[in-house]
Amino acid sequence: MSGNSMRGKSAIVGMATAGIGEAHGFSAMELLGQAAVAAVADAGLKLQDVDAVFAATSSHAFPTMSVVEYLGLKPKFFDGTNVGGSSFELHLLQATMALEAGLCDVALVCYGSNQRTAGGRLVSMSEPQWHETPYKPRHPITAYGLAASRHMHQYGTTREQLADVALAARGWANLNPDAFARGPLTKDEVLSARMISDPLTKADCCLVTDGAAAVILTRADRAKDLHAKPVYFMGAGAANYHRSIVEMPDLTTTAAADSGPRALEMAGIKLGDLDLAMLYDAFTINTILFLEDLGFCPKGEGGRFVEDGRIAPGGELAVNTNGGGLSCVHPGMYGLFLIAEAVEQIRGTAGARQIADCNLALCHGNGGTLSSQCTAILGSEATL
């Protein structure tokens, strides 16, 4: 099965989120279940129609087993690949492969977390990195602080430019009634926020929220007969070269430099064809790194690229139109929320933040400490 043979062969026909922000009294699985049931209903299907499950969570060792049991499913295909927050972009590719191979007919991709109301801490199942432990890093932020420091040293990136990323995210969040962090935010407030891991302040860090999301995929030939406007899988690519940040070959260049071109090649498009970029902004430096590595600007120019509202509402490039992990939602693993927003925009149902004529969206997921990078391209029927 060649990569290009999968272009347009599957479609997202149902999507839902649940519990964004604070969802008191609900477990991670209960939130996931709410999103999954709502996504199935959005597609006009029944829960029993789901015969494939793709899941990754930060709180379940065997996520697909837990999802199947909780929802009462009997899937004939399932995959719990967990590569951190980018898992879900990879799941789109895996689900498309399974659908195209005839291994299933209706695929559920899902995630849920009650990280905020469960105590505000991400209880990681990750094993300690023995060569890092003696230095007592505060991961993940220590790793991203290292990358930001190196980028500033090597390319002259400034804290003011990092702040521009946070301000753009808040600008979009203020147009999104579901965003957790809304309201005015100034550059001075970002720069004067409490320093967490130099050069990253609290305002450079993603939110800690609850939240769940789910999407339903079918083969494209069935999608047109279902309830919701289909959003087609156009392509995806992945790359992963390290686990620990100390093994990252270059702190200023992520594997998105490889995953992005692979996704674009499968989709048969160029970067300039895109209407929307949903980039995993766990920290402000992420957005700058991914803009560079995906090719939106040259390496080292990301800081200057985001100045003067270029990625904010009304700017040249629509980036993270939901408000991102910085201002909308970040419940431990954020990758599926990138996809959910892309679906909203392509469907034309994003309300006040809707961008005009959104037909092609790039979703870029990041896992670990700038480790796994997965890029997916979604499109409207007009792009087929």
pLDDT confidence of residue 135: 83
Q: Is the pLDDT of residue 1 over 70?
A: no
Indicate the range of 72-81, 117-126, 210-219 predicted with least confidence.
Answer: 117-126
Instruction: Establish if 147 belongs to a structural domain.
Output: no
Q: Is the pLDDT of residue 156 over 90?
A: yes
Indicate the range of 57-66, 85-94, 134-143 predicted with least confidence.
Answer: 134-143
Instruction: Establish if 7 belongs to a structural domain.
Output: yes
Print the domain residue range for 26: 3-119+207-383
* 319 φ/ψ sector (left φ>0, alpha ψ -120 to 50, else beta): beta
Domain containing 377 — which CATH number? 3.40.47.10
**Residue 218 has which token pair?**
């079918």
Q: Is the pLDDT of residue 125 over 70?
A: no
Q: Is the pLDDT of residue 4 over 70?
A: yes
Percent of the chain with pLDDT over 70: 97
**pTM score over 0.95:** yes
Q: Is the pLDDT of residue 119 over 80?
A: no
Q: Is the pLDDT of residue 238 over 70?
A: yes
Radius of gyration over every alpha carbon of the chain, rounded to an integer in angstroms:
19
65-87 tens-digit pLDDT: 999 999 999 999 999 999 999 99
- The DSSP bridge pattern shows strands 77-79 and 52-55 to be parallel
Instruction: Establish if 178 belongs to a structural domain.
Output: no
Cβ atoms of residues 343 and 349 within 8 Å:
no
pLDDT bin (cut points 50, 70, 90) of residue 124 is low
Instruction: Establish if 202 belongs to a structural domain.
Output: no
Mean of pLDDT values over 289-316: 98
pLDDT confidence of residue 187: 98
Q: Is the pLDDT of residue 123 over 70?
A: no
Mean of pLDDT values over 32-45: 98
Mean of pLDDT values over 146-152: 98
pLDDT confidence of residue 343: 98
Beta carbons within 10 angstroms of residue 294's beta carbon? 24
Number of domains in the chain: 1
Where is pLDDT greater, at 134 or 239? 239
- Distances from the Cα of 101 to the Cα of 49, 57, 153, 292, angstroms: 18, 26, 48, 35
Q: Is the pLDDT of residue 133 over 90?
A: no
Q: Is the pLDDT of residue 2 over 60?
A: no
Q: Is the pLDDT of residue 294 over 90?
A: yes
Q: Is the pLDDT of residue 359 over 90?
A: yes
Q: Is the pLDDT of residue 279 over 60?
A: yes
Instruction: Establish if 326 belongs to a structural domain.
Output: yes
Instruction: Establish if 67 belongs to a structural domain.
Output: yes
Mean of pLDDT values over 29-52: 98
Q: Is 262 buried (19+), middle (13-18) or exposed (0-12) by CB count in 10 A? A: middle
Q: Which residues neighbour 101 within 8 Å (Cβ) at sequence distance 6 or greater?
A: 1
**Mean predicted lDDT score pLDDT of the chain:** 96
Instruction: Establish if 254 belongs to a structural domain.
Output: yes
Mean of pLDDT values over 122-129: 66
Instruction: Establish if 136 belongs to a structural domain.
Output: no
pLDDT confidence of residue 285: 98
Q: Is the pLDDT of residue 3 over 60?
A: no
Q: Is the pLDDT of residue 381 over 60?
A: yes
Q: Is 61 buried (19+), middle (13-18) or exposed (0-12) by CB count in 10 A? A: exposed
